[in-house]
Structure 1
Amino acid sequence: MLKTLKSYFGYTQFRPLQQEIITCILEKRDTLVLMPTGGGKSICYQLPALMMEGTAIVVSPLISLMKDQVESLQANGIIARALNSSNDETVNANLRFECMQGRVKLLYISPERLLSELNFLLKDIRVSLFAIDEAHCISQWGHDFRPEYTQLKVLRQQFPNVPIVALTATADKITRQDIVQQLAMRNPQVFISSFDRPNLSLEVKRGYQQKEKIRSILQFIDRHPGESGIIYCMSRNTTEKVAEMLEDHGLHVAVYHAGLSTAARDAAQDDFINDRVQIVCATIAFGMGIDKSNVRWVIHYNLPKSIESFYQEIGRAGRDGLPSDTLLFYSFGDIVLLSKFAAESNQQEINLEKLNRMQQYAETDICRRRILLNYFGETMDHDCGNCDVCRNPPERFDGTIIVQKALSAIARTDQQIGTRTLTDILKGAATQEIIDRGYDKLKTYGVGRDIPSRDWQDYLLQMLNLGYFEIAYNENNHLKITEAGRKVLFGHERAQLVVIKREETAPRETGKRKRKAETPVLPILTPAVYENEDEQLFEELRILRKRLADQQAIPAYIVLSDKTLHLLAAQKPQSIEAFGEVSGIGAFKKDRYGKDFVEVINRFLQNR
């Protein structure tokens, strides 16, 4: 496994969980992989595909995603192909022939195309494994549900002995269970990698108006000169307005949204991937097919509709592991509009609850990374130090008794209530529901009378964000106590809550700038410079990489990643053999690019 990893991908060791996942797939067991964007998901199925006999079928939802993956694999000397509607029939015919000869190791295909090929191509070739990429698309609970994915359970019926691997970067507990069920997976091994992306800084600004947002964005971009970034906007109209304002300030910007022609969207994506523009202003239609490793920042001009969407979008920054920055703007207007969209959707209850959690993230006084991780079922026992809340910490107090009162009330109702009923019980309210259900007879009835209702709402929000209970939105939003909550409830641990400062929690749309100006500007982290790295050499290597990429008509990061360029500028290998030892350079890239890069390094060292 390690030999294959170095030979094709240029790495000498696996990232966390990769080796265990690959071993599981090689044993032909069904596998569910949850790994954040940039965590190394693709290698989990690409490497076993290289080691197994036959062709791995990779189901992918977007042509752009397939194109990017196939180009990256081919750049590593791997025979990978994509069967889709953008190919002409001659290309597809040749491709089928290559598959039948057993030459293709990975075949990327859309779910619709896969179903139409079940009784044709797939019957005539040896399939090593099925990899379902972006597997959250199969679940009605997922944030990007696609009906065509739901037909994929036919794979288990027609290929009972072929392992199924489902992969996603964003899926909560309920979505995971649904993926397993929808794909008819057999006793799958579930691997949940840490969702923590410590290289991403997190910052939120509330209540800014358009002019203030633009001013703030320009200051932000000034701290990232020449570095690639994405600005996500809620509407098509906003993407165009923001792009226009940025262009007026001399920035190179592309626009991407579903209202543009396919050619215009492809051109925008191509310009961004090939570094012809620095910034893309886009709706959420943009990004799933982007594997650009050197995106250094992501800005949300508006509040996203869910934490899954937000997490996936910010995950497009810093995929190479180098420090990157994220900034989220939101206003009361965003909440109103998104609530309207959610209320009018097919899954009103779920979407409103997901929006609610997104709003809670934006309004919190608790370490933002802890909230993100908690949402995906991961607990962190310390603050991250790399978000705006950690950098300007709020005042806290021992709130153990308050937490115990609330959790006790949840426990005594058999975890069958939502937040509104919980507050009524704690406040001792005599509502019809309380009387009918006999909740007024509980020991905890009225134990929180001394705390105003709106403060209870705030404390419950803090408890949710600290992971003391979770909301089961597939069970009428009932509250369920977690393991962390039980520890506090039974007195094994203390709970720290934030002191409520009411004027801070209800920002107005106007007059916000004055209060915000008192908050110190966060220092923006710049990409880590390795010890002994020469910045001038890095620039020369970057120019060479661009030239080599242009010759092959592929994005620069597919030739070598920024991280590998930084390592070259630090280690300065003077022979092709030494070049091949650098992390991220496999045998194929060593043979293909070694001479050119070593030449530039040696010339640089001679002239120094």
Structure 2
Amino acid sequence: MAKSTKTASPKKANTSSAAKQKHSHDITAGLQAKFGFDKFKGRQEEAIHSLLNGHDTFVIMPTGGGKSLCYQLPALILDGCAIVVSPLIALMKNQVDLVRGYSEDDNIAHFLNSSLNKGQIKVVRDDVVSGKTKLLYVAPETLTKQENIDFFRAANISFFAVDEAHCISEWGHDFRPEYRRLREMMDEINKDIPVIALTATATPKVQSDIVKNLGLREPNIFISSFNRQNLYYEIQPKVKVDQTIKSIVRFISQNKGKSGIIYTLNRKTTEELAEILMANGIKAVAYHAGLDAKLRAERQDGFLNEDVQVIVATIAFGMGIDKPDIRFVIHYNMPKSIENYYQETGRAGRDGLEGKCILYYSHKDVSKLEHLMRDKPLSEREVGAQLINETLAFVETSVCRRKVLMHYFGEEWNEENCGNCDNCLHPKEKVEAKDEAVKVLKVVKALDERFNLDYAVNILIGRLTPSVTMFRHENIAEFGIGKDKDVHFWNSLIRQMLLENLIRKDIEEYGLLKFTPQGEKFLKKPTSFKIVLNNLFEGADADDEETEGAGATSGAATDEVLFDMLKDLRQKQAKKLGLPPFVIFLETSLNDMATMYPTTLAELEKCQGVSKGKALKYGKPFVELIAKYVEDNDIVKPDDFVMKSVANKASNKIYIIQNVDKKIPLETIAKNKDLRLDELLEEMESIVASGTKLNLNYAIDDMLDEDDQDEIIEYFRGCETSSLDVAKEELSEFDFDWEQLKIMRIKFLCEYGN
């Protein structure tokens, strides 16, 4: 089917000049009269001519490109009623409202689905029969009912439109099994009626599936560029949950009044994030499938009418949302596929003005996505795993993100620097990888182009897996020729070789690596091949106890240069005072300093874990360093930004202090405040770091004997890092657990830090 997807050539996709002339007046006049537009966008005009002339038509047009017009205008011009297959009830309602908004007559467009009662269904059918209705939106399930098929067979149907056509492919991001029966249903109604399929995102593989499964007959295929020049793409490491949320709140606060969407993986997170945003004066609501239909509709309308600034949503929100001025899309979790990411970010900047797309990522997100697939059939899990791996490659790449996106959808991008993504604005140093690229090509050749990327990497590093043993590839000369480099390096190199067309993936054969003419030429006569490596995400995981700060751009997170300078200063001050560095300031305090840029002791007190006493005792050299850094780099400070928490931290603090004084068991204190023990200990450390002493000896004595306590205290006296992972490793002979080390560090802070 690969051949079918090539019908987008100018000769095939363009209608003849005579046929074009036949409808030119109708189209030009209709566009102005029906929709108020003076000219078409992109390839709209060609696609409309194709459909009006009775050809099966396939439109692949990015979000905001005007796909809907490609079937709406022909429906209004042609006799009869067009049947539009749409996957979501909310999407149908939105589209019907939009069409009615351009017309004086509401019955020009209807939807027919399970939300209607018998009386409403009769009204819809009467309007179709009378010829008043030009567009009828239906769910795929609606077409499976025999009574509806019989009704449509007798009606005057102008054409079929299949919106969100990627739903028909198991490789698409919204696969719907019901879509697979559409061809059968359309043939029952009238097999001679033309079909137009439309989607915003389709890889070459998905394009092939759509043509095949919809039975499109020699379709004219119109592919618009996937390049959304006005969108800025950025990936941020998700180091700690609190830090990530604070970064999001700050970003939105600095973009006051601008509409945006935050996507998360689960319902609980949407609710919690929306609450935090509201607590910080941002008009936000949660949106997910667990809400009743009426409430979802109210919240969607509130967003469209600008009564709500930010929607925090699962992927249940957004398909077909026609709001042109969404200024930012934030992904709190890694999306399931690049198609998901592209479609969701595509909702930003549909008016052609700025749109910022920021994705927060940790390796734990990958585990969550894999966990969600655990109960699915093996075939679905395999497809899902490949989609996740492709997304992971995009997230961790150091090359132009726009180039990676466009390559994924089969479009070439020859520019070296797009000027509108984090990797291009902050390019990383390139390293020569000519010899390593040759090794990759030798392995692909030795494997007879019959294996995928993961298998090739196993051969390169000499990893003996059951598959390698089964094929006896441990005996080939190339086995282990790249063992001097790690998996991360080889994955990065191979992905960049794919981008540069030295090798390719065969989409019809499960992503097997194949040679290209360019690759053959390179192997015979190697030339310089420089690549960039990205180590930004190694070890960056949300919820990790002591993962330290990470880089940032566009004002969204910690200033990594300043953070490193503050760490160096803390180290020097610690040596001067004969204290472990964390006693002076915790990493969370340094993170806040490298974000809020406090230049006075009063401002320093607003940082997490910094009391008035601690600011006076240790703060002077830190604010002096920050003040000089701000002046030298013309930093615009986020004026007095303090994120408000939903929970009442002050009441928590008082409750904890009072109950520790009463020597209440820690498990009881945690339970009464709906906290886990680790969360309680985090709260306690913040209390102590701010200057309040807690006498936890009663709890510590139950957890550790006196000798063990002395051993840990002695360790903390001389350690140079606050990482409990390091502490656990260096004290491994004693087998202390995290809670024991954490509570002893709190005691140490009480005794030596205040």
User: TM-score normalized by structure 1?
Assistant: 0.79
In 2, Cα distance between equivalents of 1:18 and 1:216: 40
Q: One-letter code of the match for 1:255?
A: A
Are 1:208 and 2:235 an aligned pair? no
Q: Any idea what SS the aligned residue of 1:120 has?
A: helix
- After TM superposition, list the pairs within 5 Å mapping 1:173-184 onto structure 2: 173-184=204-215
Give the AA of the match of 2:203.
D
> Mapping of 1:418-433 within 5 angstroms?
418-427=452-461
CA distance in 2, matches of 1:503, 1:96: 58
Give the match for residue 198 of structure 2. 167
Quote the residue 2:647 is aligned against.
Answer: none
Q: Does 1:497 align with 2:531?
A: yes
Alignment of 1:108-119 (within 5 A): 108-116=137-145, 117-119=147-149
C-alpha distance in structure 2 between counterparts of 1:11 and 1:487, whole Å: 50
Query: Given that residues 171 and 206 in structure 2 are in contact (C-alpha distance below 8 angstroms), is that contact kept between their aligned partners in structure 1?
Result: yes
Q: Quick one: which of 172, 175, 188 aligns to 1:142?
A: 172
Greater Cα shift, 443-452 or 39-48: 443-452
Does structure 2 retain, via aligned residues, the 8 Å contact 1:254–1:281? yes
The Cα of 1:190 is off from its aligned counterpart by: 2.2
The alignment of Structure 1 onto Structure 2 pairs a total of residues equal to: 520
Q: Report the equivalent of 1:105.
A: 134
Q: Are residues 1:71 and 2:97 paired?
A: yes
For residue 351 of structure 1, report the CA deviation from its aligned partner. 0.5
Matched with 2:549 is 513
Are positions 1:463 and 2:497 aligned together?
A: yes
Partner of 1:354: 387
CA distance in 2, matches of 1:419, 1:87: 50
Q: 1:156 to 1:485 in 2, by over 3 A?
A: farther
User: How far did 1:496 drift?
Assistant: 3.1
- Residues 435, 301 of structure 1: alpha-carbon distance in 2 compared, 3 angstrom cutoff: closer
Say what the alpha-carbon RMSD is for the aligned residues: 2.8
Name the counterpart of 1:375.
408
Deviations 1:239-294 (A, max 9, x none): 11111111111111111112222222222112112211111111111111422222
Question: For residue 18 of structure 1, what is the amino acid of its counterpart?
Answer: Q
Cα distance, 1:189 vs structure 2 = 2.2
Do residues 133 (structure 1) and 163 (structure 2) align? yes
Deviations 1:571-594 (A, max 9, x none): xxxxxxxxxxxxxxxxxxxxxxxx
1:368-423 deviations in whole A, cap 9, x for unaligned?
11111111111211131111111110111443443343234324433211224323
Deviation per residue, 1:158-198 (Å, 9 max, x gap) = 32211111111122222222222221221222222211111
Q: Does 1:324 align with 2:350?
A: no
Matches of 2:327 and 2:30, distance apart in 1: 30
Task: Provide the secondary structure at the position in 1 that maps to 2:234.
Answer: strand
Q: Secondary structure at the match of 2:509?
A: coil
Q: Deviations over 1:91-122 (max 9, x none)?
A: 33222222112222211111111332543321
1:51 paired with 2:82, answer no
* Whole-Å separation in 2 of the counterparts to 1:503 and 1:84: 48
**Cα distance 1:4–1:286, how it changes in 2: closer, same or farther (>3 A)?**
same
Question: Which residue does the alignment assign to 1:14?
Answer: 40
Aligned-partner Cα distance in 2 for 1:82–1:150: 21
Q: How many angstroms does 1:515 deviate by?
A: 5.0
Aligned match of 1:315 in 342, 346, 352? 346
Equivalent position amino acid for 2:162 in 1: I
Letter in 2 for 1:107: L
Name 1:26's counterpart in structure 2.
52
Q: Does 1:366 align with 2:395?
A: no
Report the residue type matching 2:441 in the other structure. Answer: L
Which range moved further: 107-116 or 456-465?
456-465
Mapped to 1, the partners of 2:123 and 2:462 lie a distance apart of 74
Structure 1 stretches of 5 or more lacking a match? Answer: 522-608
Query: Which residue does the alignment assign to 2:112?
Result: 83
CA contact (8 A) 1:300 1:327 kept: yes
Cα offset, 1:432, TM superposition = 7.3
Alignment of 1:507-546 (within 5 A): 507=540, 509=544, 510-513=546-549, 515-516=551-552, 517-519=558-560
SS in 2 for 1:107: strand
**Distance across 2 between alignment mates of 1:49 and 1:95:** 17
Q: Matched residue of 2:55: which SS?
A: coil
The one of 275, 282, 287 equivalent to 1:251 is 282
Work out whether residues 343 and 349 of structure 1, in 8 Å CA contact, stay in contact via their aligned partners in 2. no
Q: Is the 2:144–2:185 contact (alpha carbons within 8 Å) kept by the matching residues of 1?
A: no
Q: Is residue 36–residue 170 contact of structure 1 (8 Å, CA) maintained in 2?
A: yes
Asked if 2 retains the 8 angstrom alpha-carbon contact of 1:206 and 1:330, the reply is yes
The answer to whether the aligner puts 1:233 opposite 2:264 as a matched pair is yes
Contact 1:353 1:473 in 2 (8 A): no
Q: What amino acid is aligned across from residue 171 of structure 2 in structure 1? A: W
Question: Equivalent residue for 1:294?
Answer: 325
Partners of 2:287 and 2:311 within 8 A in 1: yes
For the Cα contact (< 8 Å) 1:135–1:167, is it kept in 2? yes
| CA distance 1:478–1:256, change in 2 (3 Å) | same
1:39 aligns with 2:69: no
CA distance in 1, matches of 2:485, 2:397: 20
Amino acid corresponding to residue 440 of structure 2 in structure 1: A
2-side partners of 1:102 and 1:494: how far apart? 67
Contact preservation (8 Å) 2:434, 2:526: no
Q: Is residue 64–residue 290 contact of structure 1 (8 Å, CA) maintained in 2?
A: no
Q: Quickly say closer, same or farther: Cα 1:66–1:493, change in 2 above 3 A.
A: farther
Following the alignment from structure 1 to structure 2, what is the Cα–Cα distance between the partners of residues 501 and 319?
31
Cα distance in 2, alignment partners of residues 274 and 249 from structure 1 = 21
8 Å Cα contact 1:415/1:481 also seen in 2:
yes
Supply the distance in 1 between the matched residues of 2:216 and 2:398 (Cα, whole angstroms): 40
For each residue in 1:329-372, what CA deviation from the matched residue of structure 2 results, as whole angstroms up to 9, or x when unmatched? 11122122112223432211111111111122111111111111
Deviates further, 267-276 or 150-159: 150-159
Residues 61 and 134 of structure 1 are in contact (CA less than 8 Å); yes or no, is this contact kept in structure 2? Answer: yes
CA displacement, residues 293-338 of structure 1 (integer Å, 9 cap, x when unaligned): 2211111111111111111111111122221111111112212211
**Does structure 1 conserve the Cα–Cα contact (< 8 Å) formed by 2:83 and 2:136?**
yes
After superposing the two structures, state which structure 1 stretch, 172-181 or 397-406, moved more. 397-406
2:110–2:136 CA contact under 8 A, matched in 1: yes
Q: Distance in 2 between matches of 1:135 and 1:156?
A: 15
Say if 2:239 and 2:540, in contact at 8 Å, map to a contact too: no
Flag the 1:340–1:3 CA change in 2: closer, same or farther, 3 A: same
Q: Quickly say closer, same or farther: Cα 1:141–1:424, change in 2 above 3 A.
A: closer
Q: How far has the Cα of 1:157 moved from its partner?
A: 2.3
Contact 1:131–1:164 under 8 Å retained in 2: yes
Q: Deviations over 1:2-48 (max 9, x none)?
A: 22222222222222222221121122111222111111111111122
What amino acid is aligned across from residue 369 of structure 1 in structure 2? R
User: How many percent of aligned residue pairs carry the same amino acid?
Assistant: 40
| 3-state SS of paired residue (2:68) | helix
Are 1:400 and 1:488, in contact at CA under 8 Å, matched by a contact in 2? no
Partner deviation per Cα, 1:107-155 (whole Å, 9 max, x = no partner): 1111111332543321222111100001111222221111222211114
SS at match of 2:136: strand
* Distance in 1 between residues matched to 2:522 and 2:297, nearest whole Å: 53
Cross-structure match for 1:529: none
Q: For the residues of structure 2 that align with 1:518 and 1:63, how far apart are their CA atoms?
A: 44
Quote how far apart the aligned CAs of 1:443 are. Answer: 7.4
